[in-house]
Amino acid sequence: MNRSGCLSGRVFRAALLAITTFGVGTAHPAAGQEAKPAELTVSAANRAVLSQLPFANRDDYEDAARGFIATIPDALVTGPSGNVVWSQKDYGFLENDHAPDTVNPSLWRLAQLNRQHGLFKVVDGLYQIRGLDLSNMTLIEGNSGLIVVDPLNAVETARAGLDLYYQHRPRRPVVAVIYTHSHADHWGGAKGVTNEADVASGKVAVIAPEGFMEHTVSEFVIAGNAMRRRALYQFGPLLPKGERGNVDAGLGKTTARGTLSLISPTDFIRKSDEKRTIDGVEIIFALAPESEAPAELPVAGVRRRSGPKLSPQAAQPLQIRSRSDPAPSQPGLYGRGDRRGAEITRKPCR
């Protein structure tokens, strides 16, 4: 099996064991801390934002809801013992259209957009699970199977997302998993959508950028303790939900408190414009190392090469464009209202 780099089998197996025990699932919520009101200077700065941005424009809300099919009540996902892995129930305070003094109005708006959750249709043959974890999980339908792009942060949320898809779409077997980069919210739920036996037998391909395992081990094993502590500050999963606590993390609500997993990639993309045809779907990759992550793999294009004839809209290749493109777009790898990361749009065939 190709493991991209100099990790020996023994070190590799030890790294996988260490990674799968890493996470915030066993951490305890903060308690006994008094939430304070905003300082006068903070309140004034937040109010000033209202005159700096076009808050009356509600197009983002329509964009966030477009293609919605169904969801799980309160986006509630539980673990084997009934523990709450993910839930949006406690974010009801965001229904207030007016941002409180403690929250920047722009963040408040983004937090409202990130409350959208469930299964969404982007175009024929391409669906997304949104709002069930920090990142989004993209599902590409092949001739008879399913290609999963970024299986979220936890086994439980990835499994719940796939189950939601199966409730509303044909039950296609997963034939490939793509990790777009080395951050855990893009591979941690791998064992929620496939298993090591199917990968080892060749039934399921696992595709990642060159250097994926080296950087994953560096961040989550060698620097594991520091990364874990940083995540607690960065995403605030232990803060109480509310206008003086956890409002939103920008990308999405926060990190799932579930089981982290990783299955070794079987195929590495080593240069831009490499192509793979998986179950009748041609995927074009572009490497972007040292961008958001040290090992990064944007999906530059997706096109059906064989199988059932698609509608003209769905037959066009799907491409990733950068956040600098001013044209309207569909949501991408993360939450809805920001323009972070990559966004999916249709581009006519040439």
pLDDT over 90 (residue 79): yes
Per-residue pLDDT averaged across 62-79, rounded? 96
Higher pLDDT, 297 or 264: 264
CB 194 within 8 A of CB 163: no
Q: Note the pLDDT of residue 29.
A: 56
- First-to-last alpha carbon distance for the chain, in angstroms, is 37
What is residue 17's predicted lDDT score, i.e. its pLDDT?
Answer: 52
14-23, 27-36, 230-239: which has the minimum mean pLDDT?
Answer: 14-23
For residues 166 and 72, the answer to whether their CB atoms sit within 8 Å is no
pLDDT digits (tens, 9 = 90+) for 112-143: 999 999 999 999 999 999 999 999 999 999 99
pLDDT of residue 295: 83
pLDDT in tens, 227-254: 778 888 888 888 899 999 999 998 899 9
The residue with greater pLDDT, 42 or 14, is: 42
Residue 342 scores a pLDDT above 70: no
Backbone angles phi, psi at 174, to 5 degrees: -70, 125
Domain ranges of the chain: 9-24+58-266
Please determine, for residue 18, whether its predicted confidence score (pLDDT) is greater than 60: no
Tens digits of per-residue pLDDT, 145-174?
A: 999 999 999 999 999 999 999 999 999 999
Per-residue pLDDT, 137: 96
* pLDDT, average across residues 335-343: 37
Q: Are 148 and 172 in contact (CB under 8 A)?
A: no
pLDDT mean across residues, the chain: 82
Q: Which helix (H) or strand (E) holds 44?
A: helix 40-49
Task: Reply yes or no on whether the pLDDT at 348 is more than 60.
Answer: no
Residue 14 has pLDDT above 70, yes or no: no
What is the helix (H) or strand (E) element at residue 176, kind and residue range? strand 174-178
C-alpha pair distances (Å), 89 with each of 74, 92, 112, 331, 334: 5, 6, 13, 23, 20
Cα 330-271-3 angle, rounded to 5 deg: 100
Q: What is the pLDDT of residue 228?
A: 79
Least confident of 14-18, 34-38, 198-202, 324-328: 324-328
> According to the model, what pLDDT value does residue 179 have?
96
Percentage of the chain exceeding pLDDT 70: 77
| pLDDT level of residue 5 (50, 70, 90 thresholds) | very low
Question: If you average pLDDT over residues 308-329, what whole number do you get?
Answer: 41
pLDDT band at 222 (very low <50, low <70, confident <90, very high): confident
Kindly report the CATH number that applies to the domain delimited by 9-24+58-266: 3.60.15.30
Sign of CA dihedral 81, 195, 207, 345: negative
pLDDT of residue 13: 52
Looking at residue 73, what DSSP letter applies? G
What integer pLDDT is reported at residue 330 of this predicted model?
39
